[in-house]
Amino acid sequence: MGRILRGLAGEGHLRVVAAETSDVAEEARRRHGLSPTATAALGRAMTGALLLAQLLLKTPKERITLRLEGTGPLGGLLAEADPQGNVRGYVQNPQAEVPLRPDGKLNVGELVGAGVLRVDRSLPNGEIYSSTVPLVSGEIAEDLAHYLWQSEQIPSAVLLGVRVKGEGEVEVAGGVAVQVMPEAPEEVLQRLEANLSGLAGLTPLLKERGLEGTLEVLLAGLGFERTDLRALGYALNEIPARFRCRCSREKALEALVFFTPEEREDMIVKDGGAEVVCHWCGEVYRFSPEEIRSLVAEVRCPDCGTLWLYPRADGTLFRIEGDTCRCGRKVEIPSEKRAQA
């Protein structure tokens, strides 16, 4: 399990979040069968999502999603995190690979390519706030720093790293984000810049010094003061970071509702059941003919077949908003179903 630390430096003028995510990145690699460079890309993105969740989210029920849409062979990447340290993610082409950079490092920028970074913030009431910025390099850390400045007006330094070994297993992974608070003294900024410019790389430092030692080097002369997280219920004074998906067997069964009854019956006849794979985590759910045939409570448009209501364990729920179907027909829900919705 990984971990997240928070604190202040530069006499309160720098807000710091740091994460050790080796286990998180390795689980993502294993679940999705990632190539080495895809492992680095997704590991960086998930670590970045964890850092941004600490910097930007205000309540435990909020989530942040990073979506990188690039022209490179990776084809696209998503990572989602919450303030409790839960994160998940996937890439479109998990086995995509490119040659190493001239310096021998994994070329994440080329794998991602040119494109955009979209950041979605999901609020407890269901609203989603989205911001989109062009990718600066595709290396992810620079792109997140650019996003924080362009969309949030937060000058920040972001460092992310994933080192792989052997057959592509993750040796070490982590990240640090340093947010510059308003009216920070020039001498604080100069010291931070000097520390960052003298850094040979994040992963060697994490490997040699660990997370606390890495922060000592990055914030040398700036007086890092670690936030006491025990008051928030974290007995070890750190937030656990883990790959955790929000999928479930119930949600997977619900997904079959979006197929028509005829299509579901065809699954039973041809395959003897159905298999649903979660793209976020790779978990496989298999359903028997009896479970598939239990999905009989949906209400569909008589004209175009659009799903109007679908079943849940606690009743039924509207799938569309408004009173008109996409085909133009007036939505008419039977009274007994409407009462359940």
What are the pLDDT digits (tens) for 96-146? 999 999 998 999 999 999 999 999 999 887 788 999 999 999 999 999 999
- Residue 246's φ and ψ, nearest 5 degrees, are -95, 10
C-alpha 53/C-alpha 144 separation (Å) is: 12
C-alpha 317/C-alpha 184 separation (Å) is: 50
CA distances from 212 to 47, 189, 256, 336 (A): 17, 21, 47, 60
What is the mean pLDDT of the segment spanning 163-172? 94
Task: Give the per-residue pLDDT at 258.
Answer: 75
What are the pLDDT digits (tens) for 210-253? 999 999 999 999 999 999 999 889 999 999 999 999 999 988 98
SS3 string, 158-169, reads: EEEEEEEECCCE
What are the pLDDT digits (tens) for 26-67? 999 999 999 999 999 999 999 999 999 999 999 999 999 999
C-alpha 219/C-alpha 300 separation (Å) is: 60
Task: Give the per-residue pLDDT at 335.
Answer: 57
Residue 154 in contact with residue 179, Cβ under 8 Å? yes
What domains sit in the chain, N to C, each tagged with a CATH number? 2-243 (3.55.30.10), 249-340 (3.90.1280.10)
Task: Give the mean pLDDT of the chain.
Answer: 91
What are the pLDDT digits (tens) for 255-304? 887 788 889 999 999 999 999 999 999 999 999 999 998 876 677 787 77
- Quick check: 336 pLDDT over 60? no
- Quick check: 318 pLDDT over 60? no
What is the mean pLDDT of the segment spanning 87-93? 97
- Quick check: 340 pLDDT over 50? no
Task: Give the per-residue pLDDT at 236.
Answer: 93
Burial class for 259, CB neighbours closer than 10 Å (0-12, 13-18, 19+): middle
- Quick check: 338 pLDDT over 50? no
- Quick check: 307 pLDDT over 60? yes
C-alpha 273/C-alpha 288 separation (Å) is: 5
For the chain, give the number of residues: 341
Task: Give the per-residue pLDDT at 339.
Answer: 42
Task: Give the per-residue pLDDT at 35.
Answer: 97
